Amino acid sequence: MKVAFAGTAPLAAGVLERLAETQPIAYLLTRPDAPRGRGLRSGPPPAKVTAERLEIAVHQPERPELPEPVDRVVVCAYGLYIPSRLLEQSLWLNVHPSLLPRWRGAAPVERAILAGDVETGVTIHRTVEELDAGPIAAQEAFAVGDLDAGGVYERAAEVAARQLGDVLADPVFTPQAEEGATYAEKIAPADRELDLADPLDAWRRVRALSPHIGAWTTMHGRRVTVWRARLDGGAFVPEIVQPEGRRQMTYDEFLRGVR
């Protein structure tokens, strides 16, 4: 069985790393290098970095194309629409970090944390033209607890690789329910602003946007990104912050600088 992988983001890199331990990967399909970081220098997608380290061939077309036929394509956080003509050429299995049909769409992990979901999980489903609506081959839940988005993605990568090992060769599909479907919209600028008058929401927002996006507020007259916080007796307590134009630091360090 010949398997390819289509992915771009850190979650894709994590799944690819683990899957490649047990399953040969013919090649990686990923998005082109793009400007990244404060200097906006062109850099490779995380999945490409992992693939090159594992000596997996990398293809970066502007639009999805299969450079050679394969039996399966594992899709994970790829970020490009797969046209129907490609879906007809191979069996495409999508790794989605939610308990579908809840949180279809672009930001399922972030939206689950923001909503205060007690659990989330990973769903492996057949890729179809409708967004995240394909029949399900595997699904597994796990507790969100106090995890931030980075922790949820790491757990999801572990679960997904194990699920794929079970279903890649001979998946059995169950139709996905439409009842209970919700959609995880992309994170917008307004989603990043903390409301310190609502400690529970602020705590969830920090966790949902860490360590990859960042939630911000104004403290002592300065715009500050809060990367880690806790609830203490119902109060919101920042722990790791980053004043605009500065490095990350503890909240105590920030306060000493203010004084």
Per residue in 162-190, pLDDT (tens digit) is 999 999 999 999 999 999 999 999 999 99
For the chain, list the domains and their CATH numbers. Answer: 3-183 (3.40.50.170), 189-258 (3.10.25.10)
Can you give the pLDDT at residue 257?
Answer: 86
The answer for residues whose C-beta is within 8 angstroms of residue 135's C-beta and 6 or more apart is: 125, 126, 173, 174, 175, 176
Task: Find the mean pLDDT for residues 39-58.
Answer: 92
Quote the CA–CA distance of 194 and 150 in Å, as a whole number. 19
Quote the CA–CA distance of 139 and 173 in Å, as a whole number. 11
> Model's pTM, two decimal places?
0.94
Quote the CA–CA distance of 37 and 25 in Å, as a whole number. 29
Choice among 27-36, 84-93, 104-113, 162-171 with the minimum mean pLDDT: 27-36
Can you give the pLDDT at residue 39?
Answer: 62
